[in-house]
Amino acid sequence: MLDLATKTHNEERQGEAYAPFANDVNEYKKRFYIESYGCQMNFSDSEIVASILNNEGFGATRNFEEADLVLLNTCSIREKAEQTVRKRLTEFRKVKEARPGMLVGVLGCMAERLKAKLLEEEKLVDLVVGPDAYRTLPLLIEEAETGQKAVNVLLSREETYADISPIRLDSNGVTAFVSIMRGCNNMCSFCVVPFTRGRERSRDAHSIIAEAEDLFSRGFKEVTLLGQNVDSYYWIDEANDETVTFAKLLEKVALVSPDLRVRFSTSHPKDITEEVLTTMAKYENICKYIHLPVQSGNTRVLQLMNRTYTREWYMAKVDQIRRILPDCGISSDMIAGFCSETEEEHKDTLSIMEHSQYDFSYMFFYSERPGTLAARRYADDIPEDVKKRRLQEIVELQNKLSLDSNQRDIGKTFKVLIEGESKRSETDWKGRNSQNKMIVFPKTEGSDLKKGDYVWVKVTECTQATLLGYTL
Ligand code: SAH
Ligand code: SF4
Ligand code: F3S
């Protein structure tokens, strides 16, 4: 999954405060403040939470010190992600001491993993709400307002929040996330997500298309379809006697308008089908970019990880993508120092990165998560300094591959969707090409280009992270 500004998908990202309706905040009786951590799913869920709270008369604020309700939408993927949230909670303690009426709630994956234990561990927390229980927030808030602690961490087999129109938080007005499924049925041995997010379920395809159409009619030009494993999307349209696979769904969203770009994340290498690749090839507006996490380049380690593919199988998948979509960007996730990984096996990860020529990657060292298969079955036996050194080697190789990839683009011309002004300079625009690379280019005097426009840009220079060019 991708983060628009920093490409830190699934990374414990600095939380952000949002004020989607700052101008009319006085209309609201009460104010909420929300910070999101973790993957795009969580950021997308916060937009559903904002919608539910908005219906209850809550307005958003960017300043937690003036909020009646402070919410942290949390991530459990690595230990560090949880530590970041705990640190943030201690910062809220002081404010709560001064304003005891303020409610503090923990949402998301940490709420689900720790459940009521969180109330014992973090005394200032009033609400603990798991990812499938957001509809009950109004009731839980009422309960907490009477001084009781309120918890709902029930997971559901059906909940997809299909009928809730998310309130776009801190939106650039051009790109938006659309959640298409929830949960995960895979059991990668290192991963906490199946425990925090529950069973996989796909959202009604009609509601997905309607959301994409609505976004486009409001000026949005790009949607990213979100799920932990989008390729296993599966929904039966009984009224029309049609089975909607991910490839079919992609096509339906692409047909909303040729001017609406479609992205998706994340693809599990075992599930991405040839039909998805040929559908991508058929529609110009389906972006030529696949996030295809490998995790390790060694078959024995992949087996321990329960990824269900081998090194050779993954390499063949990359070759197939290159054959069907020669200009496709590919990125990956890697875990360094998984249980019992040898030096040779680590080198297999480096060599599969060379084979795949990733444009960029998200790289982590293994962090044992309580309750997962790996925590129960295997010893976390790679010393921290070795994990960190292996990670460093992976990062250095990726830096080189990213620079090589960007240098290959010098001299090429790309269609870029303008997302806004460059962070560094008001006189430059920034946007991305189909392959998900950020391109920065100067505004031309007298031109009426604006955010949300498509423009052709010729690349003249690059850094490891960005392409630089000029408009044609
Ligand atoms: N559903 C996505 C990934 C979700 S988690 C997929 O299957 O690709 C995002 C990334 O975090 C994973 O791809 C993995 O690289 C990393 N990750 C997950 N659990 C981890 C752990 N216990 N330690 C370190 N990294 C982990
Ligand atoms: Fe975790 Fe694997 Fe599911 Fe991804 S596919 S969320 S890594 S269990
Ligand atoms: Fe984190 Fe939960 Fe996403 S554990 S990565 S927020 S699904």
DSSP assignment string, 422-454: -SS-TTEEEEE-TT--EEEEEPPTT----TT-E
Q: Is 294 in the pocket of ligand 2 (CB under 6 A)?
A: no
**Local structure of residue 262 (DSSP, 8 states):** E
Query: Is the C-beta atom of 160 inside 6 A of ligand 1?
Result: no
| Inter-residue contact 91 to 33 (CB < 8 Å) | no
Q: What lines the ligand 3 site, CB under 6 Å?
A: 10, 38-39, 41-42, 75-77, 108-109, 192-193, 196-197
The per-residue pLDDT for range 400-443, each reduced to its tens digit, is 999 999 999 999 999 999 999 998 899 999 999 999 999 999 99
Q: How many helices (H) and strands (E) in the chain?
A: 14, 21
Q: Which CATH architecture group holds 19-152?
A: 3-Layer(aba) Sandwich (3.40)
184 is in an annotated binding site: yes
- What the block records as the tokens of 24 is 């009319």
Q: Which ligand is nearest to the CA of 186?
A: 2
Domain 175-408 has CATH 1.10.10.1400: no
Ligand nearest to the CA of 369: 1
List Cβ neighbours of 30 (8 Å cut-off, separation of 6 or more): 57, 58, 59, 68, 69
Ligand 3: distance of its center to the CA of 78 in Å? 9
Is the C-beta atom of 194 inside 6 A of ligand 2?
A: yes
Q: How far is the CA of 451 from the centre of ligand 3 (A)?
A: 31
Residue ranges covered by each domain of the chain: 19-152, 175-408, 413-471
Class of domain 413-471 as given by CATH: mainly beta
**With contact defined as beta carbons under 8 Å apart, do 434 and 424 qualify?**
no
Q: Which ligand is nearest to the CA of 75?
A: 3
436 lines ligand 2 (CB under 6 A): no
* Per-residue tokens: 196: 């925090």
In whole angstroms, what is the distance from residue 34 CA to residue 279 CA?
38
pLDDT, tens only, 295-345: 999 999 999 999 999 999 999 999 999 999 999 999 999 999 999 999 999
For ligand 1, atom 14, the nearest C-alpha belongs to 333
Q: What is the dihedral of CA 225, 226, 231, 233, to 10 degrees?
A: -90
| Ligand 3 atom closest to 197 (CA) | 7
d(CA 428, CA 468): 10
- CA gyration radius, the chain: 22
Pocket test for ligand 1, best of 333, 365, 384, 394 (most atoms within 8 A of CB): 333
The answer for residues whose C-beta is within 8 angstroms of residue 137's C-beta and 6 or more apart is: 49, 52, 53, 56, 127, 129
**Cβ neighbours of 217 (radius 10 Å):** 10
- Which positions ≥6 away from 167 have C-beta within 8 Å? 20, 21, 47, 50, 51, 54
CA of 283 to the centre of ligand 3 (A): 31
d(CA 178, CA 209): 10
Cβ of 139: how many Cβ atoms within 10 Å?
12
What's the one-letter identity of residue 149? K
pLDDT tens, per residue, the chain with 472 residues: 333 222 333 333 333 333 344 445 556 789 999 999 999 999 999 999 999 999 999 999 989 988 999 999 999 999 999 999 999 999 998 889 898 899 999 999 999 999 999 999 999 999 999 999 999 999 999 999 999 999 999 999 999 999 999 999 889 999 999 999 999 999 999 999 999 999 999 999 999 999 999 999 999 999 999 999 999 999 999 999 999 999 999 999 999 999 999 999 999 999 999 999 999 999 999 999 999 999 999 999 999 999 999 999 999 999 999 999 999 999 999 999 999 999 999 999 999 999 999 999 999 999 999 999 999 999 999 999 999 999 999 999 999 999 999 999 999 999 999 999 998 899 999 999 999 999 999 999 888 999 999 999 999 999 999 999 999 8
Residue with tokens 């339906």: 252
Which H helix or E strand runs over 175?
A: strand 175-179
* CA–CA separation, 294 and 35 (whole Å): 30
Q: How would you list the strands of the sheet with 175-179, edge to edge?
A: 175-179, 222-226, 261-265
Nearest to 105 by CA among 168, 170, 155, 33: 33
Tell me, using a 6 A CB cutoff, whether residue 220 lines ligand 1. no
188 annotated as belonging to a binding site for a ligand: yes
Question: Considering every ligand atom, which ligand is closest to the CA of 338?
Answer: 1
**Cβ–Cβ contacts within 10 Å for residue 368, how many?**
15
The four Cα atoms 95, 97, 103, 106 give a dihedral, to 10 degrees, of: 70
Regarding the beta carbon of 295 and ligand 1, being less than 6 Å apart is answered: yes
Q: How far apart are CA 7 and CA 323, in angstroms?
A: 26
Question: Which residues does residue 471 pair with via DSSP β-bridges, in sequence order?
Answer: 457
